[in-house]
Amino acid sequence: MKVAVLGAGAIGAYVGAALDRAGADVHLIARGPHLAAMRRHGVRVESPRGDFTARVHATDDPADVGPVDYVFLGLKAHAYAACGPLVAPLLHDTTAVVAAQNGIPWWYFHRHGGPHDGHRVESVDPGGAVSAVLAPERAIGCVVYAATELSGPGVVRHLEGTRFSIGEPDRSASERCRTFAEAMRAGGLKCPVEAELRHDIWIKLLGNISFNPLSALTRATMRQMCVHGGTRQVVERMMHETLAVAAALGCRPDISVERRLAGAERVGDHRTSTLQDLEAGKPLELDVLLAAVVELAAVTDVPVPTLRTVHALSDLLANPTGRPGQSGRPTPSRRPTPSSQPRSSA
């Protein structure tokens, strides 16, 4: 099994190292000092489960890799529309793209069934730009529950969690999902194949849609947002509104707002990935987390006043001189580079 990890940052390099331990032919695509370190010393994984080093091929040029069976996509979602030149050399007729993104994916309504089947979410797939380079037929959904960070070039610190849930948009138990899941498990990771992966998407989104934009607006950690009475109430309202949108689309995740809040508080003084991106001057991944759900609320006629308010504020933060709904979206002339930035599950 030949796998390319496009955007081999903290999560991507961690997955690549695990798949290498399983015997897969792994190629990491990254850039900068992180790439240089991986070329010299391989990927060093530091984990409570045991440290190890994976010596895998690393490059900044996908043409050096050629067509693969699976592309594990570790780029931020706002880079997808412009990633065509990076992805194209990796594809053959049956290459699957395992998209490890937060929020609502571009393939969400592909073979969804029901009245919204085939609907395009403009916030996620503006003008069909993402579908044009990442055909929904290639997509295997992936919800990441692991938390990792780059503690230095070529060094991944695994903080917690090993679960990467995957699933087909059409809910089938496909051979390509089973094969990928077996390799992930052989590498020491949990990789259940979920028929209803959309339920997992909404469960994780409950936290991302609330804590990520609020952390950028307040500069607060997860614990601070949970213990502050006023902010906790805002988070609760955002989560309830999100569940209402999910229900209108036929998804009723088996989790309560109270349980989700308790889990977030246990994380402690963690700074969300959105806050880390803001502090580093990087684009904010808010379209797939927040704008998409506000858009879906309009499609389903679900009132979401709190989500709309937080979206307006966070969108202004991300785009002080831009037009609404462009948080983190690259300009057409900008060619994304394989990300080597820290990437966590939050």
Instruction: Give the catalytic positions in this structure.
Output: 204
3-state SS, one letter per residue, for 109-161:
CCCCCCCCCCCCCCCCCHHHHHHHHCCHHHEEEEEECCEEEEEECCEEEEEEC
Strands (E), the chain: 2-6, 25-29, 43-46, 52-54, 57-59, 70-73, 96-99, 139-144, 147-152, 155-160, 164-167
Provide the angle, in degrees to the nearest 10, between the axes of the packed helices 292-300 and 305-318: 150
H/E element holding 189? none
Q: Give how far the C-alpha of residue 315 lies from the chain's centroid of Cα atoms, to the nearest Å.
A: 19
Terminal CA-CA length for the chain: 30
DSSP class of 289: I
